[in-house]
């Protein structure tokens, strides 16, 4: 992704917001864009570069190479910088930044006023925006008289009162109580649909509820992007897989429906959308993304994984231990049986999430009943066999 030279200042002109730039002292080099009216979520591990991206769009940070465009206009490059207050970009932070000495109404009216709107129409607009977030009756309160959820509603009204071209959200629900967050999430979904939004989030719920598209960043680089559904059904990294709530295994294609992990386990699955012609049907010279030896990933829903006590040595029926690469006949229907060692247990009421490590260190989660976790005496360090039906394993070429 870093091969291509960084953007000429004219690039990115078509998107509502386009970032193609480098911040060298942070080792961040990001390239992504969002179309007008779309809501893009930036996700990634700590230190990946999410806040840096938001700061570049807001104008709080300047790139030392490349360019930032907003609605086709160059707003940042090494030689030019439109300051934050001259961009039509508003930010909604974890903790609402309301002016403490102003009432809710005047906080909301402040933006239009400072952009030259006369007092009366600015106050009218502020009332309309407060009504729209369900806070019409709080107009005369000052910020310290508002609850966290109410303050976040007022902050949203304040952000939207200036008709922003881009709304930046930085974990807007993270500081709210769990009882309050769903209502604010619904409000954001309602008020932000159809606007151009870039949001930083760690919460998969925010992705489904608030975003159309997602870009996954890691180590200062955009490593995957697409629609939320596309990325979460086909995660390209462990991080994205965790967001999607599935496990991800990497391996090498050996057959139409079979992948081998580096540890020697066979992963049998199905390929959503594939026509199963690649391995045997590719013409000579044709490049297939699913051919023996190419890299592949498998995604597995933890609810589809059964945890068995580790298989013993070969039994009378001639079946052997999966440690030897042999699956017992009695379990040949599920197809996948991988020896693994439990590394973590997370009980949550009647269900327990078991994280187990395959022989090559790749991890698979299983969701089992807490009763069976107790019966199997599962604990970190215990050897088990993970059993999954092939129909529950999705195989994809590694992009």
Q: Which residues bind ligand ATP (CB under 6 A)?
A: 25-26, 28, 44, 46-52
Residue (41 or 388) nearer to ligand ATP, CB: 41
What minimum distance in Å lies between the beta carbon of 168 and ligand ATP? 12
CB of 32 to ligand ATP, least distance (A): 14
- Smallest gap from Cβ 35 to ligand ATP, in A, equals 23
Q: Cα separation of 393 and 378, whole Å?
A: 24
Q: Which C-beta is closer to ligand ATP: that of 45 or that of 320?
A: 45
- Give 27 or 131: the residue with its C-beta nearer to ligand ATP: 27
Closest CB to ligand ATP among residues 21, 154: 21
User: In angstroms, what is the minimal distance from the CB of 121 to ligand ATP?
Assistant: 38
Residue placing its CB nearer to ligand ATP in the complex, 126 or 198: 198
Closest approach of Cβ 126 to ligand ATP, in Å? 32
Contact present, 82 and 17 (Cβ < 8 Å): no
Three-class HEC string of 11-78: CCCCCCEEEEEEEHHHCEEEEEEECCCCEEEEECCCCCCHHHHHHHHHCCCCCCEEEEEECCEEEEEC
Identify the CA nearest to 248 among candidates 270, 226, 266, 233: 233
Instruction: Compare residues 24 and 193 and give the one whose CB is closer to ligand ATP.
Output: 24
Of 228, 244, 242, whose CA–CA distance to 40 is shortest?
A: 228
**Can you list the pairs that 222-226 forms with residues at least 24 positions away whose Cβ atoms lie under 8 Å?**
222/1, 222/30, 222/31, 222/32, 223/1, 224/399, 225/32
Q: Are 399 and 248 in contact (CB under 8 A)?
A: no
- Integer-rounded Cα Rg, in Å, for the chain is 26
- Euclidean distance between CA atoms 249 and 246, whole angstroms: 10
Tokens representing residue 5 in the block: 């030279």
Is the CB of 45 or the CB of 148 nearer to ligand ATP?
45
CA–CA dist 62, 52 (Å, integer): 10
Residue nearer to ligand ATP on the CB measure, 49 or 334: 49
Sheet holding 39-43, edge to edge: 89-92, 166-170, 197-200, 39-43, 213-218, 221-227
Minimum CB–partner distance for residue 219 and ligand ATP (Å): 8
Distance of CA 347 to the CA centre of its chain: 24
User: Which residue, 132, 149, 142, 148, is CA-closest to 106?
Assistant: 142
Q: How far is the CB of 248 from ligand ATP (least distance, A)?
A: 20
Taking the complex as a whole, how short is the minimal distance between the CB of residue 27 and ligand ATP, in angstroms?
Answer: 6
CB of 399 to ligand ATP, least distance (A): 22
Name the residue nearer to ligand ATP (CB basis): 48 or 394: 48
Helix H segments across the chain? 50-58, 104-114, 119-132, 148-160, 181-192, 204-210, 228-233, 238-244, 278-281, 370-375
Residue 57 tokens, joined: 């769009």
The minimum distance between CB 361 and ligand ATP, in angstroms, equals 25
Which CB sits closer to ligand ATP, 200 or 297? 200
């Amino acid at each position: 992704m870093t091969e291509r030279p960084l953007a000429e200042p004219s690039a990115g002109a078509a998107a509502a917001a386009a970032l193609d730039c480098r911040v060298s002292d942070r080792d961040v080099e990001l390239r992504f864009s969002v179309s007008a009216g779309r809501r893009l979520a930036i996700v990634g591990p700590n230190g990946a570069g999410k806040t840096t991206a938001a700061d570049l769009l807001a104008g709080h940070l300047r790139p030392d190479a490349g360019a930032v465009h907003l609605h086709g206009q160059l707003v940042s490059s090494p030689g030019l910088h439109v300051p934050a207050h001259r961009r039509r970009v508003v930010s909604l932070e974890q903790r609402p930044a309301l002016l403490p000495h102003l009432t809710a109404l005047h906080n909301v009216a402040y933006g239009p006023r400072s952009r030259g709107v006369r007092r009366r129409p600015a106050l009218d607009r502020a009332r309309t925006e407060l009504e729209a977030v369900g806070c019409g009756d709080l107009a005369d309160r000052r910020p310290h008289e508002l609850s966290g959820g109410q303050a976040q509603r007022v902050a949203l009204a304040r952000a939207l009162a200036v008709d922003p071209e881009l709304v930046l959200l930085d974990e807007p629900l993270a500081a709210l109580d769990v009882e309050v967050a769903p209502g604010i999430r619904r409000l954001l979904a309602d008020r932000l649909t159809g606007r151009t939004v870039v949001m930083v989030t760690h919460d998969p719920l925010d992705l489904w509820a608030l975003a159309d598209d997602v870009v996954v960043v890691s180590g200062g680089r955009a490593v995957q992007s697409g629609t939320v559904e596309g990325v979460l059904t086909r995660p390209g990294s462990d991080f994205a897989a965790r967001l999607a709530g599935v496990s991800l295994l990497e391996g090498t294609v050996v057959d139409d429906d079979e992948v081998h992990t580096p540890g020697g386990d066979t992963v049998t699955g199905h390929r959503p959308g594939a026509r199963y012609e690649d391995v045997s049907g590719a013409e000579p010279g044709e490049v297939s993304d699913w051919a023996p030896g190419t890299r592949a990933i498998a995604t597995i829903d933890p609810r589809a994984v059964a945890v068995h006590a580790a298989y013993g040595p070969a039994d009378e029926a001639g079946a052997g231990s999966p440690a030897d690469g042999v699956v017992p006949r009695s379990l040949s229907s599920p197809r996948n049986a991988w020896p693994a060692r439990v590394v973590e247990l997370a009980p949550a009421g009647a269900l327990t999430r078991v994280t187990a490590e395959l022989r090559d260190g790749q991890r698979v989660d299983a969701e089992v009943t807490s009763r069976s976790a107790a019966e199997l005496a599962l604990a970190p360090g215990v050897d088990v066999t993970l059993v999954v039906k092939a129909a529950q394993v999705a195989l994809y070429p590694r992009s």
